[in-house]
Structure 1
Amino acid sequence: MCDTAIQDLYAEEFANCFGCGRNNQHGLQLKSHWQGDECICRHTPKSHYTGGVPGFLYGGMIASLIDCHGAATAAAAKSRESGEPISRFVTASLNVDFVKPTPIGIELEIRGKATEIKNRKVTVALQLFAGETLCATGKMILVQLKN
């Protein structure tokens, strides 16, 4: 696993995202790293992100975690394939399936894998786990910003 988070390689002007922007002091400060052939992010949500059922995470936050980690996965996968520096990707499509309620107070692990890279478009499959329990899956299409 690389010590430098993918998000820490984003250009300064693209480092303000609520979920993963290192320059957003009020954000989640998500960090994603390559591990084997996957991209991994670990995050423990705070209790104020609860949903309609006490003790469980709000669905919008689950989508945000998947979205930000998916963008990092796409950026790293494209960089690995092309040999170019990390660049920023934006979401063109995000599909989240909620498999089981996601508890608060436990470290979550989001796993991402690029399933297709075509020019500026990357498709990513994601899974969100609480411990050993699969809580959500996602599929994303992301597009590389033009320089």
Structure 2
Amino acid sequence: MPKLNASLQDTAAPEGICYGCGSSNTHGLHIKSFWHEDGVHVLAEHLPDPKYCGWPDLVYGGLVAMLVDCHSNWTAMAYHYRGEHREVASLPRINCVTGNLGIKFIKPTPMGVPLTLRARVEGDVGRKTRVVCEVYAGDVLTAIGDSIFVRVDTVQLAAVAHKR
């Protein structure tokens, strides 16, 4: 039984091992995504550790990209669950992978400021879902992700990747 107010990650995949959002990755970032009360957006907050510095006092752009990737992917999966009128913890699990990751850096992202990720689905066609994710440092928009996520069978995907 999922905890009250549990994140999408903790509810759907408590055994997840993704470095960015896996609840069970002891070395990971543990990104936590939640539906916003508006029912349209999915939100996450993250305070980057100083080791993710790109330039002095600025967040490494690769970390921003990872945050957008993981959070947007969970936005796509949550959207698919809602579209099927299913709870996030229901089986069979819905999984998506990144088909295209687009990041536009608007302003430098400062270190020491909590980041808010605000994502929404902008369109879907079958297995493909377009997600737009805004990254805010405080109230300043610093980056926008515009990405495509593809619904997949992860067992089959791993078999193809390993030529099994």
1:126 positional shift: 0.8
CA distance in 1, matches of 2:114, 2:13: 28
Q: Which has the greater radius of gyration?
A: 2
**Consecutive unaligned residues in structure 2, runs of 5 or more:** 89-93, 155-164
Q: Deviations over 1:35-76 (max 9, x none)?
A: 01200000000011000x201000100000000000010011
Of 44, 49, 53 in structure 2, the residue corresponding to residue 50 of structure 1 is 53
After TM superposition, the structure 1 = structure 2 runs for residues 123-142 of structure 1, keeping only pairs within 5 Å, are 123-142=130-149
The amino acid that maps onto 2:48 is P
Q: TM-score, normalised by structure 2?
A: 0.83
The answer to whether 1:112 aligns with 2:112 is no
Percent of paired sites with the same residue: 37
1:85 positional shift: 4.7
Residue number in structure 1 paired with 2:19: 18
Q: Choose between structure 1 and 2: higher strand proportion.
A: 1
Ranges of 4+ aligned residues in structure 1 off by more than 2 Å: 9-13
How large is the RMSD of aligned CA atoms in angstroms?
Answer: 1.5
Aligned residues: 144
8 Å CA contact 1:78–1:117 kept in 2: the answer is: no
In structure 2, relative to structure 1, the CA distance for the partners of 1:64 and 1:75 (3 Å cut) is: same
